[in-house]
Chains A and B, each alone.
Chain A
Amino acid sequence: MFRHTISELKEALVCLQAGQVTLRYPFQPHPAEGEFRGLPAVEASRCIGCGACANACPARVISLEDIEGYRLVKFELGRCTYCASCRDACPQEAISMSPMFETATGAAADLVISLRLKLAYCRVCGAPLGTRRAMEWVQSALSETGEYPGEMIKGLEMCLPCKRRQALTTAILLEEVAA
């Protein structure tokens, strides 16, 4: 009996020392700190639509679709696991992890981010090549090095079959000239 009372007193002491520990959340906000990974944020102006994020995403949240002259990059974040693989994969540093964790919503569309990027087409045959932004980015990166002739950089605006055809015709023409 005496032992029982002592253990109950000890338990009471544990409670008394603790005091009140709960917050008046959500009236008293409790922001995340440090490197907390919340809802991904996408800086649309930096995205080139390369799809590296979609390849890396373990939860298959990110999809790419080419329709009517545009590439649609879609983040359906309702299934996001906040792993930050997309952020780590992005060559343009367009994705960051926001500290936002209060994502409950009645409308599924609140958790969807869509980007529309203009597509670029082969200047010879008109086949789609990728996004215009990606092409311009590669072209400017190449010309900045100063190591590639302008003609070669311009050649990026053609699809692979057209490039091959052009290279072949040039070679045949050169042969004819030489003959």
Chain B
Amino acid sequence: MPIRRTARQIAEQFAIQFPEWMQLEMATGDTIQFGVDRKALPPITRYLRDEEQARFIVSVGTDRRLDAGYFEITNIFGLDQDQVFLLLRTEVDPADPNIPSITPEIHGANWAERELQDMLGVTAVGHPDPRRLVLPDDWPDGVHPLRKDFAYNQRPEIVPGRNPELKSPPEGSTLFPIGPFYPTLEEPVFINLFVHGEHIVGMDYRGFFAHRGIEKLGDAALTYQQVPFIAERICGICGFVHSSCYCQAAEKAAGIEIPPRARYIRTLLLELERIHSHLLWIGLACHFIGFDTLFMQAWRIREPVMWLTEYITGNRKTYGMNQIGGVARDLPEDAKDRILPVIERIAAEVAGVADAIVGDSSLALRLQGTGILSAAAARDLCVIGPTARGSGLDIDARRDHPFAAYGDMEFEVCVEQGGDNWARTMVRIRELSEAIKIARQVLDKIPAGPVMADFAEIPPGRVGVSSVEAPRGEVHHYVRTGAGQRPDRWRVRAPSFNNLQSIPALLQGMTIADAPISIGSLDPCFSCTERLGVVDQTTGQLRIYKQADLLAEFRHKRERRTR
């Protein structure tokens, strides 16, 4: 383990390394910002990748034509060993809105750069796959919703009859479309598998059918303290991570120190959320390979967590607790006595289920050796959370970029080496007991005191970034404060944004029946609208599978393998 450097030291080192390329703009706490000329982006990215083992997090594009006369592109990297976020800020002339693409250097930047092209109209030159990603296919060219001259409620004239640009299957392979409503995903998503017989040889993806424009609302219609409520609704399973992350980023930007008790309350709720999310995933993963007994039992064990959060916050899911400056409500007075027995019982039941899963030979047959993501691919695609830890990457925002009260907690970062569906399952099972351990520590150590900080108005023009380790991986938010009591830019990077990009690598060489559990093993959000069409390309015949047919098909596979 190399020696940890401070933000100052790193800033000085970079300034010596690249004197003509990088201008230091900010080095505070855990954030360093450099001004970088756009020409220098690819070589600096290469250096960061090879010499610093930096992890690409996301690109943020801001329309600053009104106050500064340029588009601002900020590429955010995590220097995880130093617990530092590195921001590379590039100014782009609106007359020539181009940046050199960094995707050839780090493939995890693929979607982030395509999103820049769609939403801000800044082209990534040299991008290997510059097709439309976020905007609908019938959206007119040249209209970019994150530009400030586009109103949040504006509806442009649509271009009718335009279809998604999809890749055609390689010679000799058959097209196997899944979607546009995917069996195991909450989002409507369209995946075209290219198959040779039963084996997958490639794929194409079209998603973002339900893009909600939440970031635009945040910087055009809502106020600082209203954003946490909509942030919480970004995800239906792990919403608290988003409101926490937004609040932390805004607090960093404004220099607000929140009371210790509020930090502990956030930690407690984040861990309760992880417990119920992982149990939900275990249940659904079992469901999709036809093991419904365990599906029911995992959800039964999960339910008391929902009751607990309802008792603590007033709601099962959307807690409405986070505000910039702390939390809106304190814990109830008898919190410790109420919460401890429940989590102790869950701990015992989780141990029972884990014991059963580990020894189950049919689960092992379905999960071991399927959906393999190598450590090198995981690093290149910048996957995070259990997906990364299942492939042997030792990263966890709770340890690498401490937030809330995690600095005071003792816990293990669960890493498995296999890279397959089994490894990702084991990571989540082990994390359940770690989450229970953290919840216990919070209840033991929680300090008394206020839960909201006093602060004056939030000054405009400040930048804050923050990460939160969600059940699915690191959530990252970027806040640039603005005038008029709302952010000038609020960027959200959910973990599935990175993890979904690893699907082609996961599915390569697998069979069709392994696809749902492999994609499901990333724990993207799951759906209840289930329908799948299979087109035989040679005959052009279409067969529509309903949920029941599809499940029967997947379960049939299990029976064949166990036989």
**Interface residue B314 (Cβ < 8 Å from any Cβ of A):** yes
Contact of A14 among B313, B329, B352 (CB under 8 A): B352
**Interface residue B256 (Cβ < 8 Å from any Cβ of A):** no
**Interface residue B110 (Cβ < 8 Å from any Cβ of A):** no
Contact of B300 among A11, A18, A36, A58 (CB under 8 A): A18
**One of B225-233, B263-271, B539-547 contacting the partner:** B225-233
The 26 sampled A-B contact pairs (Cβ below 8 Å) are A3-B361, A4-B361, A7-B360, A7-B361, A10-B359, A11-B294, A11-B360, A14-B297, A14-B353, A15-B293, A15-B297, A18-B300, A33-B310, A34-B310, A34-B311, A35-B313, A36-B315, A37-B314, A59-B229, A82-B314, A82-B315, A82-B320, A83-B318, A84-B314, A85-B229, A97-B314
With contacts A10-B356, A58-B226 known, what are 6 further pairs, Cβ within 8 A? A14-B356, A34-B332, A37-B314, A58-B229, A84-B314, A97-B314
Flag if A35 contacts B360 (CB, 8 Å). Answer: no
Inside 8 A of A4's CB, which chain B residues have their CB? 360-362
Produce 1/0 per residue, A1-42, CB < 8 A to B: 001101110110111011001000000000011111100000
Cα–Cα distance between A97 and B329 once the two chains are bound (Å): 14
The answer to whether residues A34 and B229 also contact, given A4-B361, A11-B360 and a CB cut-off of 8 A, is no
**Interface residue B51 (Cβ < 8 Å from any Cβ of A):** no
Flag if A81 contacts B233 (CB, 8 Å). Answer: yes
Flag if B314 contacts A35 (CB, 8 Å). Answer: yes
Chain B: CB-nearest residue to A17 = B352
Task: Please report A residues at the B interface, Cβ cutoff 8 Å.
Answer: 3-4, 6-8, 10-11, 13-15, 17-18, 21, 32-37, 58-59, 81-85, 88, 97
Flag if A32 contacts B356 (CB, 8 Å). Answer: no
Inside 8 A of A84's CB, which chain B residues have their CB? 314, 320
Contact of B359 among A7, A13, A59, A81 (CB under 8 A): A7
**Interface residue B222 (Cβ < 8 Å from any Cβ of A):** yes
Inside 8 A of B315's CB, which chain A residues have their CB? 36-37, 82
Inside 8 A of A85's CB, which chain B residues have their CB? 226, 229
**Interface residue B355 (Cβ < 8 Å from any Cβ of A):** yes
Give, as a whole number of angstroms, the nearest-CB distance from A88 to chain B: 8
- Chain B interface bracket (under 10, 10 to 19, 20 to 34, 35 or more): 20 to 34
Inside 8 A of A36's CB, which chain B residues have their CB? 310, 314-315
Chain A: CB-nearest residue to B320 = A83
Flag if A3 contacts B300 (CB, 8 Å). Answer: no
Flag if B320 contacts A35 (CB, 8 Å). Answer: no
Flag if A18 contacts B310 (CB, 8 Å). Answer: no
Cα–Cα distance between A85 and B322 once the two chains are bound (Å): 12
Cα–Cα distance between A8 and B151 once the two chains are bound (Å): 59
Give, as a whole number of angstroms, the nearest-CB distance from A18 to chain B: 6
Cα–Cα distance between A86 and B512 once the two chains are bound (Å): 51
Give, as a whole number of angstroms, the nearest-CB distance from B274 to chain A: 21
Cα–Cα distance between A33 and B313 once the two chains are bound (Å): 11
Chain A: CB-nearest residue to B221 = A60
Give, as a whole number of angstroms, the nearest-CB distance from A21 to chain B: 5
Inside 8 A of B303's CB, which chain A residues have their CB? 21
Contact of B293 among A3, A11, A17, A82 (CB under 8 A): A11
Flag if B229 contacts A81 (CB, 8 Å). Answer: yes
Flag if A83 contacts B297 (CB, 8 Å). Answer: no
Inside 8 A of B356's CB, which chain A residues have their CB? 7, 10-11, 14
Give, as a whole number of angstroms, the nearest-CB distance from A134 to chain B: 23
